[in-house]
Amino acid sequence: MTQNTSKTPWLWVPSLYLTESVPYVIIITVSVIMYKSLGVSNADIGLYTSFLYLPWVIKPIWSPILELFGNKKKWFLSMQLILALAFLGVGLTTGTSHFFIITLAFFWMGAFASATNDIASDGMYLIALKPDQQSFFVGMRSTFYRVGMITGQGLIVIIAGNLETHFGDPAKAWSWTMIIVAGLMLTLTLVNYLTTPNIIEDRVAKADQPSFGKVFSTFFTKKNIGLSLGFVLLYRLGESQLVKMASPFFLDERTEGGLGLSVTDVGFLYGTLGVISLLAGGILGGILISRDGLGKWMMPMVLAINVPNIGYVFLAWLQPQSMVFAGGVVLIEQLGYGFGFAAYMVFLIYLAEGLFKTAHYALATGFMAMGMMLPGMLSGYMQEWLGYPGFFVWVVIATIPGFVMAYVVKYPREFGKKLES
C-alpha cells in the first residue's frame, strides 16, 4: 500500500479516536444521564442503554466487507456524517410524547454507524502505522479515545445541565444539547477529512479473495483463543456494571441512596478532574508498555483499573456532603482506568495480528462490547435489588475474574515493546 506520508499521526490519531469515542459515549453513557433527567427508571435505563451495545457486539458480521471492499477513509467519513444526522434526529424528537421509543431508534441508527466507523478507523490505524508505531501511539490513541468520552460525560453534560437551569425544562435542554452534538460531529468529520492520510490499499485479486468463512475461521483458530476471549470478556466485568450506574448514583436524591448532585456537577467531575487524571494515566501506560513490553505491566494495570472501584463503596455508605470526596474517587478511578486500559488495547492489537487485521480487530472489539453489554443490561436491576451500597460491593466482587484472566492469559511478554533502532 502507499500513502500520503505528509500527514503525521500526531495529528490524525488523536482526531480519529476522538471522533470514534464521542458518538460512543453519547450513545452508551450520556444517554443514561439524559434518560435519568427525563424520568426513566434505573431498570429501564440499564436494560435499554446496555442493549445499544449490540451493534458493537455483532459488528464482526459485516467487518469483512470493510476488509475486502471499499476504502477505509471513505467508510469512516460516511459513517460520521450519518452519526451527525442521527444526533440531530434525537435533538429534534426529545420533546415529543413518545420520546423514549423515538430517540432510542435514532440512537440505534447512530450505534450501527458508530460501530462501522470504529471498524474503518481501527483499520486505518492498523494499515497506516508500522507495528512499533502502533505500540507507541496506543497511549495517545487510548488517551484521546477517553478524552472523547470525557468530552461527552463532561463538557456535553455540563452544557445540558446549564441549559436545564436556563430553560427550566430538561426536555428542551437535552434537545438543544443533542443538536449541538450533531454540529460537533459534523466539525470532527471535516477535521478527519483534512488530516487523515490517503492510503491506496492493497487488494487481493478477485479470484484469490478469501471467503467470509475463512476470515472468521482464521480468528477462531488462533493459538489460545479460548483464554484470549475469556480475558477480553472478563477484564472489565466490574466496570461494565459500574459505568451504567455511576451517573444515576451521583444524580439520585440522597433519600434514594444517591449523592443528590446536579447534572452540571456530574459533568464537572468527569470533565475536569477526570480528564486530567485520565490523560496522565493513558499516556503513562502507553509509554511504559512501549518501553518494557506488555508482560511487565499487565498485572499492575489490571490492579489500576479495578481497585479504585472500592471508592464507590465508601461513597455509597457514607454519602458525604462535600464534592471533594466524590471528586477524589473520580480522579483516582479515571487515573487507574487510563493506565489500565492501555494494557487492554495492546492485547487487542496482539489478538488481531496476522491476516485480516481489520476484521480480526473488529471481532476482538466485538467480544469486548459483549463483555460490556451483558453485565450492563442487568446492572439497573441489580442496583434496584441491592441498593447502591450493596451494588458497589457487588461491582468490587465482579472484578475478581478479571484478575484471574490477566494472570492466566497467554501472550508474548515483549509484545508492544518498541524495537531498538
Q: pLDDT band at 2, cuts 50/70/90? A: very low
pLDDT at 30 over 50: yes
Whole-number pLDDT of residue 287? 87
Residue 273 within a domain? yes
CATH at residue 130: 1.20.1250.20
CA dist., res. 262 & res. 7, Å (int):
42
Say how many domains are in the chain. 1
Residue 340 vs residues 169, 242, 352, 417: alpha-carbon distances, Å? 39, 16, 20, 17
Whole-number pLDDT of residue 212? 65
CA dist., res. 286 & res. 138, Å (int):
6
Residue 244 within a domain? yes
pLDDT at 74 over 70: yes
Q: What is the pLDDT of residues 282-311, one digit of tens each?
A: 889 888 998 899 999 999 999 999 999 999
pLDDT at 202 over 60: no
pLDDT at 207 over 50: no
- In this prediction, what percent of the chain has a pLDDT beyond 70? 94
Q: Where are the alpha helices (DSSP H) in 201-273?
A: 212-220, 225-234, 237-251, 263-268
Residue 376 within a domain? yes
Residue 90 within a domain? yes
Q: Where are the alpha helices (DSSP H) in 72-169?
A: 72-93, 99-128, 131-150, 157-167
Written as one string, the DSSP assignment of 238-252 is: HHHHHHHHHHHHHHS
Lowest mean pLDDT among 165-174, 209-218, 268-277, 360-369: 209-218
Q: What is the pLDDT of residues 102-139, one digit of tens each?
A: 999 999 999 999 999 998 998 888 788 876 677 677 77
Whole-number pLDDT of residue 395? 96
CA dist., res. 366 & res. 370, Å (int):
6
CA dist., res. 150 & res. 148, Å (int):
5
Residue 217 within a domain? no
Q: pLDDT band at 94, cuts 50/70/90? A: very high
Domain of 255, in residue numbers: 9-196+222-408
Residue 321 within a domain? yes
pLDDT at 4 over 50: no
Q: What is the pLDDT of residues 230-253, one digit of tens each?
A: 999 999 999 889 988 998 999 999
Which one is predicted more confidently, 39 or 211?
A: 39
Dihedral sign, Cα of residue 230, residue 55, residue 282, residue 326: negative
pTM of the complete model: 0.78
Residue 191 within a domain? yes
Name the DSSP class of 398.
Answer: T
User: Mean pLDDT for the chain?
Assistant: 88
Residue 160 vs residues 26, 45, 98, 175, 262: alpha-carbon distances, Å? 12, 18, 21, 9, 11
